[in-house]
Homo-oligomer: A and B are copies of this chain.
Amino acid sequence: MSGKAMTLQECVESCLKSHAMCLDTGRYCMEQQGSHVSAAHLALLLDCAEMCQTTANSLLRHSPQHAAVCEVCARLCEACATDCDKFTSDAQMQRCAQTCRNCASSCRDMAKIRI
């Protein structure tokens, strides 16, 4: 596999991981109740999950517009991570923040590559 194909493959995997993590965290938050279930916090998690999925799909289609898609995905992942970081002593939220940051970094790399 070429460097380009490897980066694409890694970015798809980062997006799918972040997608699954955000959905799982959404479920966790709904089970926790309290401040975990603010509408804005859940909207961010679900938005991030769906954009990660859309980005993975765009990459799998080798879309000519993948760079724009990757850039907005990185932005949503960072916003979601910042929001999750507010729950400083909650292990699930910390894992979610980390997974989103990894995905954001992978998407920024991918946005620079022509496919």
Contact = CB atoms under 8 A, between A and B. Distances in A.
A65 B50 contact: no
A110 to B, nearest CB: 15
A58 B57 CA distance: 17
A12 B63 CA distance: 24
A65 B37 contact: no
Contact of A40 (B33, B38, B64): B64
A38 B30 contact: yes
Copy number in the complex reads: 4
Interface in A55-79: 56-58, 60-65, 68-69, 71-72, 75-76, 79
7 contacts: A27-B61, A30-B43, A40-B64, A43-B61, A43-B63, A47-B69, A65-B79
A35 to B, nearest CB: 11
A53 B51 contact: no
